[in-house]
């Protein structure tokens, strides 16, 4: 695919077909390369002196400090300092001067410098490219003055670009902006675009199923302004959130690149650290002036083409404005001053959606699995039955931002239900969606003045289908489908234009011609005929000349230096009369070559036909593209409808295949799922293997459900399943259950105890507690809280106490509906104290010493943790298990009262007394034990005194010997 400027209708390369022209181009290129080679030495010297140290020229360009990838270009650059050479008296070559200028313009981006058919990188850029791309590092010139250089064919640049972007670099494309053939001396070159991860629009460089956000973060007191822009679709959303929600938003949006004010991006910046912890995207400093409210406001007005922002519901003092303006300014900067065609401006309003923080999203594995971060195995991978790229992107957005308004949810459900009732409509719609290309990104490229012939063909394919899709939906009664059907208004004029103007199978690139349909333009058709007929005309000319001269072996040939010629062997020439108007051009050992004015005329008409037809095609294509671009916004509006229909049809598809049911969604306090299944495991496991389970949660009888049971029984699966089912219901999907009623929740929180966290390293007890604190501070009585082994990350009694008090707090103060899976079977006593605490456990069958997991949730708590059974299952040696069994019963006998519980905790009191025993350090507990075992009636005064002294010593010493020989040891 051609670069942006090439796509813009770069004149067909003269190096292609007509051989004569190719010759010229080659010579021009050679001349230039000779010039380069000749002056390479001076050039390198000049470069060395022009760029002392590692610093890059900054000016107003964002200085990119890219954090992703190991091989960042922003680090100190080796090599320069060790160079022993002094300044050179020689001036840099014009070519290297041009390079230096472009490099300055590119800021910290790696510079792809176009030279003929190649892109070359020099100096440090070349070394980085060689390392990242695995291409050969060569040198311009030799010896001490060698300039490191690496390059590749310009045609293949996208592949190299992609690798460098993925490694966290930005790339500046420096192209030849004039026809080398017409250039006097050095070809003019300019940086035509700075390609960064967040500003891509090329299909080949993007995941078509995911949005690609450039995100801008602008701190403003306690709040932080945010803007996220997808350059490839024009979607543009702004908002502001409290600083502590920043991490959640960034991780929800999963941006490709994050820009923040330059003064906030330094090594000890807390903001930068927060961002680096939640995203792998490069953090890039944006020029401070672009964040100034006045400037930002003006940028917004210009790029949105409005005179006031009121229409978007954005007040002048909104903290979102600096971020929004800086986003557009950064995008403009990468497109060399050209604005990005944004699709309006949406205000982010978190209050309308179901809140999911980062930990919850990751724990529920919505978009990727926790273990390896892959899409397979995530909820998204199971739910994605979409057929179009637009649909896939929208589904992703829906999954991370479910609804909370039962009416809006019911609307989506009605569409899914209708498609299930009308299987033929559903099939038709699915088939039609299958054929629709990514019209959203195509339209955005067209609006940006880009877009290849293939893009126009894609648009045409989409426009052919739109009326059929509208027709299929016309019979539908549910609001979302009927509405989409009505809004899928065809664009007949544009379609007709493309039908008639564009070839049926245009090539990707304009350079090859063949883009415009036959019959669209008379002159073009004539030129094409002339070109095709050229070969025939030459043959005719040859026959005529042979006849006229009486030389049957006379031949017409072609060479790059002087074009068409007549060739006559010396033998023939000696016998025949060579006509006078034959001009001798070349003498070979066996033949003479001539040209004639007639032949030259014929030649020029053939060659011009070729060239004229190409430039005419470029012109005609430009017109077609401009007409299509004029409807760009309409096309994007169509794309939005297609996306909605696609997601809903996908919901219907999975519901149909897997027998999912429509949940009743309302504002009530209860969640009641009968025979629910885990949406992902149910699909991934063999049919019938997954054991369905019921869930009942409500305010009055079942607010806190404690799930106990041995390790591996299915506790985690059960509670996650519940969260996923609630989430899916609020997205508008059907559910894997027999029946379900979901009283909407405002937020879902999930926390996993540190020891249970699979991601390793990342999770410590501190993280566990920080996340738990976030729940306790943010959950409401409408929230759903899922706790998995919270408290596990610390010692048993600590953990149990914390788990206990968290449960109480959630139950009494917050009144959130809570599922708590725990191996602390001691917690079951909570139910004795609180009416709406329910105990369930995952049943296991015991066969002597063996246990079998039934994965079935049954009422009641467990009184044991089966840790030894599990250890045995895992293959721990028998001797160890037996010894552990003896230690366990010893411990249980020795300190039965150490368990927390209502007996020792003033659970019902407003401010419960801290429970004494569990909080005491070990010697105290042991001393208490001894005291308890002591019979005062049997102790002599002396013994009592000695015991008292011993206790005192042990307390002073902090440790001391264990509780041996209580009462009679002395």
Nearest CA to 663 among 719, 727, 749, 746? 727
Residue 891: CB minimum distance to ligand ADP, A: 23
Report the partner that residue 237 touches, choosing among Mg ion, ligand ADP, none (CB closer than 5 to 8 A by kind).
Answer: none
Q: Which is nearer to ligand ADP, 334 or 721 (CB)?
A: 721
Determine the Cα angle at 860 with ends 791 and 803, to 5°.
15
- Give the count of beta carbons closer than 10 Å to the beta carbon of residue 271: 18
Nearest CA to 449 among 898, 942, 7? 7
Report the partner that residue 290 touches, choosing among Mg ion, ligand ADP, none (CB closer than 5 to 8 A by kind).
Answer: none
Report the partner that residue 712 touches, choosing among Mg ion, ligand ADP, none (CB closer than 5 to 8 A by kind).
Answer: ligand ADP
- d(Cα 678, Cα 693) in Å, to the nearest integer? 9
Q: Which two tokens stand for residue 948?
A: 């008292």
Q: Which is nearer to ligand ADP, 132 or 364 (CB)?
A: 364
Residue 682: CB minimum distance to ligand ADP, A: 9
Nearest CA to 199 among 282, 277, 119, 294? 282
Residues near Mg ion (CB under 5 A): 716
Q: Phi/psi of residue 626, each to 5°?
A: -65, -40
Q: Which is nearer to Mg ion, 255 or 714 (CB)?
A: 714
Q: Which is nearer to ligand ADP, 77 or 678 (CB)?
A: 678
Report the partner that residue 309 touches, choosing among Mg ion, ligand ADP, none (CB closer than 5 to 8 A by kind).
Answer: none
β-pair partners for 752: 788
Number of residues in the chain: 970
Residue 255: CB minimum distance to ligand ADP, A: 32
Q: Which two tokens stand for residue 305?
A: 């083409």
Nearest CA to 563 among 521, 525, 616, 608? 608
* Per-residue interface string for the shown chain with ligand ADP, residues 661-690, x marking contact by CB under 6 A: ----------------------------xx
Q: Which is nearer to ligand ADP, 594 or 660 (CB)?
A: 660
Residue 400: CB minimum distance to ligand ADP, A: 23
Residue 784: CB minimum distance to Mg ion, A: 18
Residue 359: CB minimum distance to ligand ADP, A: 17
Q: What element of type H or E holds 676? A: strand 671-676
Task: Give me the sign of the Cα torsion angle 560, 566, 567, 570.
Answer: negative
Q: Are residues 54 and 76 in contact, defined by beta-carbon separation less than 8 angstroms?
A: yes
Report the partner that residue 714 touches, choosing among ligand ADP, Mg ion, none (CB closer than 5 to 8 A by kind).
Answer: ligand ADP
Q: Which is nearer to ligand ADP, 272 or 680 (CB)?
A: 680
- d(Cα 151, Cα 166) in Å, to the nearest integer? 18
The interface with ligand ADP within residues 82-101 (CB under 6 A) comprises none
Residue 818: CB minimum distance to ligand ADP, A: 16
Q: Which is nearer to ligand ADP, 478 or 708 (CB)?
A: 708
Residue 842: CB minimum distance to ligand ADP, A: 6
Q: Which is nearer to Mg ion, 867 or 961 (CB)?
A: 867
Q: Which is nearer to ligand ADP, 690 or 765 (CB)?
A: 690
* Per-residue interface string for the shown chain with ligand ADP, residues 705-724, x marking contact by CB under 6 A: ----x-xxxxxxx-------
* Per-residue interface string for the shown chain with ligand ADP, residues 809-848, x marking contact by CB under 6 A: ----------------------------------------
- d(Cα 642, Cα 465) in Å, to the nearest integer? 11
Nearest CA to 246 among 112, 121, 357? 357
Q: Which is nearer to ligand ADP, 39 or 711 (CB)?
A: 711
- d(Cα 160, Cα 179) in Å, to the nearest integer? 25
Report the partner that residue 103 touches, choosing among ligand ADP, Mg ion, none (CB closer than 5 to 8 A by kind).
Answer: none
Q: Are residues 749 and 819 in contact, defined by beta-carbon separation less than 8 angstroms?
A: no
Q: Which is nearer to ligand ADP, 228 or 690 (CB)?
A: 690
Q: Which two tokens stand for residue 501?
A: 């103007």
Residue 946: CB minimum distance to Mg ion, A: 50
Within 13 Å, how many C-alpha atoms sit on residue 236's CB side? 23
Q: Which is nearer to Mg ion, 235 or 716 (CB)?
A: 716
Nearest CA to 340 among 476, 440, 464, 199? 199
Report the partner that residue 413 touches, choosing among Mg ion, ligand ADP, none (CB closer than 5 to 8 A by kind).
Answer: none
- d(Cα 288, Cα 591) in Å, to the nearest integer? 74
Report the partner that residue 469 touches, choosing among Mg ion, ligand ADP, none (CB closer than 5 to 8 A by kind).
Answer: none
Residue 660: CB minimum distance to ligand ADP, A: 17
Report the partner that residue 148 touches, choosing among Mg ion, ligand ADP, none (CB closer than 5 to 8 A by kind).
Answer: none
Q: Which is nearer to Mg ion, 660 or 820 (CB)?
A: 820
- d(Cα 705, Cα 839) in Å, to the nearest integer? 6
Q: Which is nearer to ligand ADP, 366 or 681 (CB)?
A: 681
Report the partner that residue 690 touches, choosing among Mg ion, ligand ADP, none (CB closer than 5 to 8 A by kind).
Answer: ligand ADP
β-pair partners for 673: 695, 740
- The residue of the chain with the least Cβ separation from Mg ion equals 716
- In terms of phi and psi (left: phi > 0; alpha: psi -120 to 50; beta: otherwise), the region of 78 is beta
CA–CA distances in Å: residue 792 to residues 8, 757, 887, 902: 61, 10, 21, 21
Residue 709: CB minimum distance to Mg ion, A: 9
Residue 627: CB minimum distance to ligand ADP, A: 57
Q: Which is nearer to ligand ADP, 2 or 709 (CB)?
A: 709
CA–CA distances in Å: residue 636 to residues 232, 487, 624, 627: 12, 12, 18, 15
- d(Cα 282, Cα 206) in Å, to the nearest integer? 16
- d(Cα 954, Cα 927) in Å, to the nearest integer? 9
Residue 827: CB minimum distance to Mg ion, A: 15
Q: What element of type H or E holds 148? A: strand 147-153
- The residue of the chain with the least Cβ separation from ligand ADP equals 714
**Piece in contact with ligand ADP (CB under 6 A), picked from 186-194, 386-394, 424-432, 704-712:** 704-712
Residue 860: CB minimum distance to ligand ADP, A: 16
Residue 807: CB minimum distance to ligand ADP, A: 18
- d(Cα 509, Cα 15) in Å, to the nearest integer? 15
Q: Are residues 302 and 220 in contact, defined by beta-carbon separation less than 8 angstroms?
A: no
The interface with ligand ADP within residues 456-475 (CB under 6 A) comprises none
- Give the count of beta carbons closer than 10 Å to the beta carbon of residue 873: 15
Burial readout 350-369 (b: 16 or more C-beta within 10 A, e: otherwise): eeebbbbbbbbbbbbbbbbb
Among 214, 515, 691, 775, binds ligand ADP (CB under 6 A): 691
The count of chain residues that interact with ligand ADP, using the rule CB under 6 A, is 13
Burial class (CB in 10 A: 0-12, 13-18, 19+), 958: exposed
Strands 704-708 and 837-847: parallel
Q: Which is nearer to ligand ADP, 260 or 754 (CB)?
A: 754
Report the partner that residue 318 touches, choosing among ligand ADP, Mg ion, none (CB closer than 5 to 8 A by kind).
Answer: none
Residue 709: CB minimum distance to ligand ADP, A: 6
Q: Which is nearer to ligand ADP, 113 or 718 (CB)?
A: 718
Nearest CA to 479 among 413, 537, 390? 413
Among 209, 855, 899, 915, binds ligand ADP (CB under 6 A): 855
The interface with ligand ADP within residues 215-254 (CB under 6 A) comprises none
Q: Phi/psi of residue 73, each to 5°?
A: -85, -15
Report the partner that residue 855 touches, choosing among Mg ion, ligand ADP, none (CB closer than 5 to 8 A by kind).
Answer: ligand ADP
Residue 869: CB minimum distance to Mg ion, A: 15
281 Cβ contact partners less than 8 Å away, ≥ 6 residues apart: 68, 197, 198, 215, 255, 256, 257, 258
Q: Which residues bind ligand ADP (CB under 6 A)?
A: 689-691, 693, 709, 711-717, 855
């Amino acid at each position: 695919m051609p670069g942006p400027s090439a796509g813009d209708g770069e004149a067909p390369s003269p190096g292609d077909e007509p051989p004569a022209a190719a010759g010229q181009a080659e010579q021009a290129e050679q001349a230039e390369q000779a010039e380069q080679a000749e002056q390479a030495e001076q050039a390198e010297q000049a470069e060395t002196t022009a760029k002392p140290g590692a610093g890059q020229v900054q000016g107003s360009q964002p200085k990119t400090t890219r954090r992703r990838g190991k091989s960042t270009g922003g680090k100190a650059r080796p090599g320069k300092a060790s160079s022993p050479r002094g300044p050179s008296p020689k001036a840099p070559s014009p070519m290297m001067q041009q390079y230096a200028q472009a490099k300055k313009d590119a800021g910290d981006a790696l510079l792809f410098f176009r030279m003929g058919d190649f892109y070359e990188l020099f100096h440090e850029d070349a070394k980085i490219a060689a390392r990242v791309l695995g291409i050969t590092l060569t040198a311009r010139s030799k010896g001490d003055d060698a300039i490191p250089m690496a390059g590749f064919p310009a045609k293949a640049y996208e592949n190299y670009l992609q690798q460098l972007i993925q490694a966290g670099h930005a790339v500046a494309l420096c192209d030849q902006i004039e026809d080398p053939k017409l250039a006097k001396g050095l070809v003019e070159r300019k940086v035509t675009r700075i390609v960064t991860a967040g500003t891509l629009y090329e299909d080949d460089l993007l995941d078509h199923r995911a949005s690609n956000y450039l995100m801008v973060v602008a701190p403003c007191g306690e709040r932080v302004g945010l803007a996220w822009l997808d350059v490839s679709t024009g979607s543009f959303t702004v908002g502001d959130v409290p600083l502590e929600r920043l991490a959640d938003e960034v991780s929800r949006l999963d941006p490709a690149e994050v820009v923040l004010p330059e003064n906030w991006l330094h090594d000890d910046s807390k903001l930068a650290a927060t961002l680096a912890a939640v995203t792998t995207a490069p953090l890039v400093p944006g020029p401070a002036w672009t964040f100034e409210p006045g400037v930002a406001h003006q940028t917004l007005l210009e790029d949105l083409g409005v005179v006031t922002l009121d229409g978007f519901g954005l007040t002048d003092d909104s903290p979102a404005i600096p971020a929004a303006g800086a986003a557009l300014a950064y995008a403009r900067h990468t497109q060399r001053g050209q604005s990005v065609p944004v699709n309006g401006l949406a205000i982010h309003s978190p209050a309308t959606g179901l809140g999911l923080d980062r930990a919850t999203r990751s724990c529920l594995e919505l978009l990727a699995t926790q273990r390896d971060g892959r899409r397979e195995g995530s909820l998204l991978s199971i739910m994605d039955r979409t057929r179009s790229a637009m649909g896939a992107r929208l589904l992703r957005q829906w999954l991370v931002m479910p609804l909370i308004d039962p009416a809006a949810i019911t609307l989506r459900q009605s569409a899914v239900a209708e498609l299930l009732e009308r299987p033929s409509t559903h099939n038709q719609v699915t088939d039609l969606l299958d054929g629709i290309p990514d019209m959203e990104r195509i339209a955005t490229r067209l609006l940006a003045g880009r877009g290849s012939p293939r893009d126009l063909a894609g648009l045409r394919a989409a426009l052919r289908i739109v009326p059929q899709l509208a027709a299929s939906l016309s019979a539908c009664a549910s609001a979302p489908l009927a509405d989409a059907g009505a809004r899928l208004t065809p664009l007949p004029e544009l379609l007709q234009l493309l039908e008639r103007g564009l070839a049926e199978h245009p090539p990707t690139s304009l350079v090859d011609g063949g883009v415009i349909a036959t019959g669209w333009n008379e002159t073009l058709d004539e030129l094409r005929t002339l070109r095709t007929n050229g070969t025939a005309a030459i043959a005719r000319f040859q026959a005529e000349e042979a006849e006229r001269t009486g030389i049957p072996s006379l031949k017409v040939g072609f060479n790059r230096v002087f074009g068409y010629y007549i060739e006559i062997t010396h033998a023939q020439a000696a016998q025949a009369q060579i006509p006078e108007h034959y001009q001798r051009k070349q003498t070979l050992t066996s033949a003479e070559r001539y040209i004639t004015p007639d032949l030259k005329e014929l030649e020029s008409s053939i060659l011009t036909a070729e060239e004229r037809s190409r430039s005419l095609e470029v012109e005609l294509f430009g017109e077609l593209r401009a007409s299509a671009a004029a409807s760009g916004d309409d096309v994007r509006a169509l794309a939005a409808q297609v996306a909605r229909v696609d997601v809903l049809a996908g919901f219907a598809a999975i519901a149909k295949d897997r027998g999912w049911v429509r949940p009743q969604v309302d504002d009530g306090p209860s969640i009641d799922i009968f025979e629910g299944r885990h949406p992902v495991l149910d699909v991934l496991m063999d049919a019938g293997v997954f054991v369905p389970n019921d869930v009942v949660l409500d305010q009055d009888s079942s607010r806190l459900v404690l799930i106990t049971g041995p390790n591996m029984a299915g506790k985690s699966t059960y509670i996650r399943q519940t969260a996923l089912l609630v989430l899916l219901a609020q997205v508008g999907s059907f559910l894997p259950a027999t029946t379900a009623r979901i009283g909407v929740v405002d937020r879902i929180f999930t926390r996993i105890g540190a020891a249970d966290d699979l991601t390793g390293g990342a999770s410590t007890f501190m993280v566990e507690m920080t996340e738990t604190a976030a729940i306790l501070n943010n959950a409401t009585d409408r929230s759903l809280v899922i706790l998995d082994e919270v408290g596990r990350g610390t010692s048993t009694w600590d953990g149990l106490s914390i788990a206990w008090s968290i449960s109480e707090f959630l139950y009494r103060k917050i009144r959130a509906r809570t599922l708590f899976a725990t191996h602390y079977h001691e917690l079951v006593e909570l139910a004795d104290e609180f009416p709406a605490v329910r105990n369930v456990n995952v049943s296991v069958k015991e066969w002597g010493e063996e246990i079998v997991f039934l994965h079935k949730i049954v009422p009641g708590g467990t009184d044991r943790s089966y840790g030894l059974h599990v250890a045995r299952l895992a293959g721990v040696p028998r001797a160890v298990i037996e010894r552990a069994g003896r230690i366990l019963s010893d411990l249980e006998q020795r300190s039965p009262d150490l368990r927390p519980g209502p007996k020792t905790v003033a659970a019902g009191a407003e401010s419960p007394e801290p429970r004494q025993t569990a909080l005491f350090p070990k010697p105290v507990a042991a001393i208490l034990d001894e005291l308890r075992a002591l019979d005062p009636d049997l102790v002599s005064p002396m013994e009592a005194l000695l015991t008292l002294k011993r206790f005192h010593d042990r307390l002073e010493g902090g440790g001391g010997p264990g509780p041996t020989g209580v009462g009679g040891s002395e």
